[in-house]
Amino acid sequence: MSKEPTNISYVNQEILRHYKLLLGSKSPRRQMLLKELGLRYQLVEIEVEETYPPHLREAEIAEYLCELKADAFDSKLLTHDSILVTADTIVWLEGKYIGKPAGRNEAIAMLRQLSGKPHSVYSGICLRSASRKTVFCAHTRVTFRELASDEINYYVDQYKPFDKAGSYGIQDWIGYIGVSGIEGCYYNVMGFPVQLFYDKLTRFIEESLKDKMLNT
């Protein structure tokens, strides 16, 4: 006789309801995606210089930077039912790190580099509670068709993507008309791999609950 499937999503939501997430990110896209997941969260300010050791590459950079942000948060503000969430997204093209553009000219130059080529997007996420911490990363490969100069100029002038790694948002106009291929999580390119985050958060909480049971 076959067993009825367990409603894991419902169980997870019940567990998650007892925790408060502290989101250390100013990204409106990450805030939107957390809200769409139905998770309650509070925004927290984290000021840190986003620099990394020069020997790091690809996923290592994203993981290092998200953990750097988490470690900069005052641990005294972490309560028994709170979990800090920090994230960092980078673009990697032909062996080079591409971050956020400093202004219009740099944004245009970045998009010209990405035009007609595949590149990698890495989003590192750090979960930190009063008693544990975990870091993980998602990878997506994105390909742009050849972009015309007037398309690049129009996008930069109209959308001003200066807060976005690689100088573009896949959910914007440039993504509609320019992205010819994607391998991996779409939301990762937006800066937050939702499915991976949900799985890791659930496991993080379950392991935390096990620790509490063992210590009581």
CA distance 169 to 182: 13
Domains, the chain, ordered by start: 8-210 (3.90.950.10)
Using alpha carbons, select from 194, 187, 154 the residue that is nearest to residue 171.
187
Digit-coded pLDDT (tens) for 29-49 = 999 999 998 888 999 999 999
- What's the confidence (pLDDT) of residue 169? 96
- What's the confidence (pLDDT) of residue 17? 72
Digit-coded pLDDT (tens) for 57-101 = 999 999 999 999 999 999 999 998 899 999 999 999 999 999 899
Report whether pLDDT(214) > 70: no
CA distance 149 to 129: 47
The strand pair at 82-93 and 96-98 is best described as antiparallel
Q: Which positions are catalytic? A: 88
CA distance 161 to 173: 11
CA angle 156, 159, 28 (to 5 degrees): 130
CA distance 144 to 13: 37
Q: Please state the φ and ψ torsions of residue 209, each to the nearest 5 degrees.
A: -65, -40
Q: What is the pTM of this model?
A: 0.90
DSSP letters of 183-204? ES-HHHHHT--HHHHHHHHHHH
CA distances from 24 to 43, 68, 160, 163 (A): 6, 11, 23, 15
Q: Are 156 and 108 in contact (CB under 8 A)?
A: yes
H-state helical runs in the chain = 8-16, 28-36, 59-71, 104-114, 149-159, 173-178, 186-190, 194-214
